[in-house]
Amino acid sequence: MRGIGILRRGLTDTFEHLIPFSAATVGWWIFAAMPFGLAALLGWIGLLLLLVVPGATASLFAFTDPRRSTSRPGFAELVAAFRRTLRPALAITAIMLPVIAVLAWNVTYYGGGRSRFGVLVPLWTVLLVLAVGITLAALALTGLFDLRGTDAIKRAFVIIGAAPVRSIMILVVLTAIVVVGGLLVIPLALVVPALVTATMNRFVLDRLGIVVIDPLMPTEERRNEQQARRAAKV
């Protein structure tokens, strides 16, 4: 299945570039955890720094771009990517987070069979997974192509909506990886965020029909030379 191939390539990207991906993940965790640490000192003002997390996430998508496998962005380029993607990423979060929150609340509240609306829980669960997928795909589009927030959401809606079953399968597997990584702590801290962004990048590029050239694969000319040598030996 194509979805399995995307997951495999995401895993391959992560483990082939384990050290830089781990370093980028640690940087992302610093941005994600810093507001809570400063909140102990500055109160709610420190929590305002949560506004930088979407930009840091879009920058992580940019860093794990498989098209940059031989030339990963340096620190200066990452800072530029963060500044460039911060506003679009905030727009994506502002639009999609309420949708995710409402769907998650519906699933948790009505999941206990407290009302006749409980029959809608499976539908809300599917919509919740798709909403998370649209959010991740939109952030990936922003990180990869510098799209505006609303444009990225529209494109992400088309990408996820055109392949909902494959999208759900990939998201469910990524969720399982996040859960296992959380139980083991170290993988979550060093690998899992980059693995998620690398896999979503692969999915988005695949849906857009953009071919990612493997630098380790021989070129067409090289393959022709190898075939000619084999034929000459025969």
Q: Average pLDDT for residues 132-158, to the nearest whole number? A: 96
Task: Read off the pLDDT band of 72 (50, 70, 90).
Answer: confident
Q: Average pLDDT for residues 144-170, to the nearest whole number? A: 95
**6-10, 41-45, 59-63, 67-71: which range is least confident on average?**
41-45
The whole-angstrom separation of Cα 188 and Cα 177 is: 9
* pLDDT one-digit tens code per residue, 91-134: 999 999 999 999 999 998 887 666 777 788 899 999 999 999 99
Residue 153 has pLDDT above 90, yes or no: yes
Q: How do the domains of the chain map onto residue ranges?
A: 2-220
CB-based burial label for 115 (10 Å; 0-12, 13-18, 19+): exposed
Residues 6 or more apart whose CB falls under 8 angstroms from that of 224 comprise: none
Average pLDDT of the chain to the nearest whole number = 86
Residue labelled with tokens 């505006």: 148
CB-based burial label for 93 (10 Å; 0-12, 13-18, 19+): buried
CB 191 within 8 A of CB 18: yes
In the prediction, which pLDDT does 189 show? Answer: 77
H helices present in 43-163, as ranges = 44-47, 53-63, 75-110, 121-145, 149-162
